[in-house]
Amino acid sequence: MSRSTPSQLARRRWLGIAGTVAAQAALPIPQIFASTRVWGANDRPGIGFIGTGGRAGAHIEICLKLKEQGRCDTTAVCDVYRPRVEAAAARTGGKIYRDYRELLADRGVDLVCIATPDRHHAPQALTAVRAGKDVYVEKPLTHWSQMELAAELGDEAERLKRIVQVGTQYVADEAYAKARELIGQGIVGKIVHVQLGYFRRGDWGERMPIPDPNAKPGPDLDWEQFLGDAPKVAFDVSRFFQWRLYWDYAGGPATDLLVHVFTPVFCLLELGYPERVLGGGGTFQYAREVPDQCNIIADYPGGPSVVMSNSLSNYTGIQTILRGTDGAIVLGDGNHPGPGIRIVPVAKDSQEVVIPWSGFDRTEKLWENFLECVQTRNRPFSPVDIGVRVQAPLNMGILSHREGKVARFDSVARKIVLE
């Protein structure tokens, strides 16, 4: 039997994705409100939660506190697993939906929070912005096989003037804007090299328990909707509850962890798309499909070269450092951010500058910023256009690792090419 080439496999993945999005677009989802709507200070936008699992629980808790402050309402909840969505409904008072497209047709839902498996993020966010919703979408912006969808989502959000906040809470801080201004003034010269990493000791699998080992597809569990455009496989209780461990639904440390420490680099530098990316690592300790060790090198045209490292076997970390020709920017490591952004110039008689953190790693501040931007239509802390550019090297690193090839980015077509 002949084997498919990587390009053929990629094309099949894309055709499946395109078919899924086309089918969603054909559904009768109304325009809820015009993109020019002006929100008053006392308005309470209704939030719909698409996905009500573990991470969504944190978002719900934050939104319930914001609801008490009169800043929003928790209007609707949606999940393919009935016990989970019923628990969320009891907690929020929201109306229950089992299909997210029906939630998007609810005129009481103004904003959506998407906290579903990775490969659902972009299709659901695309459908949401086309339905007139502003969107808070969990990281990563897309599954590692969906670069085209990431680019399309960025285009659509801009065209329809939708606010899309990507859930990378490390960037929920005004310190980046202040540091970016100093970098632009040349305080450390040209940034030519960046290092960053995320290290811990332990398999992320323990963060995804199996609440019901006897769960089966049926009225209470919509397996087909869970799969979406993923390969059609027989139901497996681990795949459903512990989806982060499988390539079909997640990307491992690259898109689950490194995305957190990589996104701040984009908040400091005006990076575009990388020229070439090399990914490596492997599954050396834990019983899982996705790697437990991950390394990515991304070279940008004219610099910088970005080196990303990860291990789930040892928590000895490395600092995020942006090395310039005349100094360095130091952000601390993924678990220990330090007092703030340190700017260390090397010029004679120069002084080190520390810009204190004011919200680093606070998801609640990211939500406050999102609701503020919904009213003002200002640019959020973690906007979708940055999310698209962050996604490119991470996806490229995964594809390079999986295929054993160098990944290059076609900046005109905005597509990944393996060589």
Listed in sequence order, the DSSP H helices in 36-99 are 54-68, 82-92
Residue with tokens 């009891």: 90
Give the pLDDT of residue 41: 65
In this predicted structure, the answer to whether residue 132 has a pLDDT above a threshold of 60 is: yes
The average confidence (pLDDT) of the chain is 91
Q: Convert the pLDDT of each residue in 200-249 to its tens digit.
A: 999 876 678 999 999 999 999 999 999 999 999 999 999 999 999 999 99
Least confident piece of the model among 143-147, 271-275, 349-353 = 349-353
Question: What is the rounded distance in angstroms from the CA atom of residue 213 to the CA atom of residue 238?
Answer: 8
Q: Convert the pLDDT of each residue in 102-117 to its tens digit.
A: 999 999 999 999 999 9
Q: Are 77 and 102 in contact (CB under 8 A)?
A: no
The count of residues in the chain is: 419
23: Cα separation from own chain's centroid: 24
Give the pLDDT of residue 188: 97
Least confident piece of the model among 81-90, 101-110, 119-128, 199-208 = 199-208
CB atoms within 10 A of CB 68: 9
Question: What is the rounded distance in angstroms from the CA atom of residue 308 to the CA atom of residue 393?
Answer: 10
Q: For residues 361-371, b (16+ Cβ closer than 10 Å) or e, as one string? A: bbbbbbbbbbb
At residue 349's C-alpha, the angle toward residues 348 and 352, to 5°, is 105
Give the pLDDT of residue 205: 66
Q: What is the DSSP letter of 171?
A: G
State the fold for domain 6-169+366-383. Answer: Rossmann fold (3.40.50)
At residue 192's C-alpha, the angle toward residues 297 and 146, to 5°, is 40
Give the pLDDT of residue 206: 62
Mean pLDDT within 155-179: 97
Question: What is the rounded distance in angstroms from the CA atom of residue 331 to the CA atom of residue 325?
Answer: 18
| CA distances for 219 relative to 80, 83, 114, 216, 222, angstroms | 9, 11, 22, 9, 7
Q: Convert the pLDDT of each residue in 141-164 to its tens digit.
A: 999 999 999 999 999 999 999 999
Query: Hey, where are the domains in the chain?
Result: 6-169+366-383, 171-204+250-360+393-418
Question: What is the rounded distance in angstroms from the CA atom of residue 65 to the CA atom of residue 32?
Answer: 25
CB atoms within 10 A of CB 346: 12
Pairing of strands 134-138, 111-114: parallel
Question: What is the rounded distance in angstroms from the CA atom of residue 390 to the CA atom of residue 145?
Answer: 14
Question: What is the rounded distance in angstroms from the CA atom of residue 407 to the CA atom of residue 397?
Answer: 7
Give the pLDDT of residue 38: 65
Between 413 and 365, residue with greater pLDDT? 365
Question: Measured between alpha carbons, how far apart are the two ends of the chain, in Å?
Answer: 24
- Domain 171-204+250-360+393-418: CATH superfamily, name plus number: Dihydrodipicolinate Reductase; domain 2 (3.30.360.10)
Mean pLDDT within 302-319: 96
Please tell me whether residue 410 adopts helix, strand or coil conformation: strand
Residue with tokens 């659901």: 124
Residue with tokens 């220990």: 336
Q: Helices 147-159 and 6-25, interaxial angle, to 10°?
A: 30
φ/ψ of residue 196, rounded to 5: -160, 160
Percent of the chain with pLDDT over 70: 89
Closest CA to 300 of 336, 266, 349: 266
Give the pLDDT of residue 220: 98
What residues have CB less than 8 Å from 291, skipping those under 6 apart? 252, 253, 254, 281, 282, 283, 401
Same fold, 6-169+366-383 and 171-204+250-360+393-418: no
